[in-house]
Amino acid sequence: MEHLTFHHIGMATDSIEHSSKLYIEAGFRASETILDPVRKVRICFLTRQNHPDIELIEPAGQDAPVCNYLKKNGVGPYHLCYRTTSMDGAVRRLKGKHFILLGKPAPACAIHNRPVCFMYHRNIGLIELVEEP
């Protein structure tokens, strides 16, 4: 994964409103909450200088994939996101390291319609890739 750059931590939550309050009290700034109908979630980014960005991910319906995570684990870390300048190259290299591609790259409205995809490795967990120039 040496060709990737850290982007953010994705945190699953059942309430962006409740979770964001604690981060805001700690000095983070919250973006507007965005509905991603493709992934069936609401998303809010939290930023603070010299800290990793945090993406709060709330289900937008009972059939959202994040619901299974919340049922098993409750609120907590869901994925790590990494930047790449070549989605195809990153996917190919990670598949070579036994990562499983969970869906074809597709634009994400919460990240300025940049292509994203999710991959899974049993020893790492879920990661998100975002393609940036």
Provide the residue type at 66 as one letter: V
Cα angle 85, 129, 99 (rounded to 5 degrees) comes to: 115
pLDDT recorded at residue 133 = 80
Q: How far apart are CA 45 and CA 61, in angstroms?
A: 20
Residue 118 near residue 128, CB atoms below 8 Å: yes
Q: pTM of whole model > 0.85? A: yes
Q: Which ranges of the chain would DSSP assign to H, the alpha helix? A: 16-25, 66-73, 87-95
Q: Domain tally for the chain?
A: 1
The range of the structural domain enclosing residue 124 comes to 5-131
Q: How far apart are CA 132 and CA 130, in angstroms?
A: 6
pLDDT recorded at residue 43 = 97
Nearest to 17 by CA among 75, 66, 78, 68: 75
pLDDT recorded at residue 12 = 98
pLDDT recorded at residue 117 = 96
Q: What is the pLDDT of residues 87-119, one digit of tens each?
A: 999 999 999 999 999 999 999 998 889 999 999
pLDDT at 1 over 80: no
pLDDT at 84 over 80: yes
Counting every residue written for the chain, the total comes to 133
Q: What is the pLDDT of residues 10-63, one digit of tens each?
A: 999 999 999 999 999 999 999 999 999 989 999 999 999 999 999 999 999 999
Q: How far apart are CA 79 and CA 44, in angstroms?
A: 15
- Write the CATH number for 48: 3.10.180.10
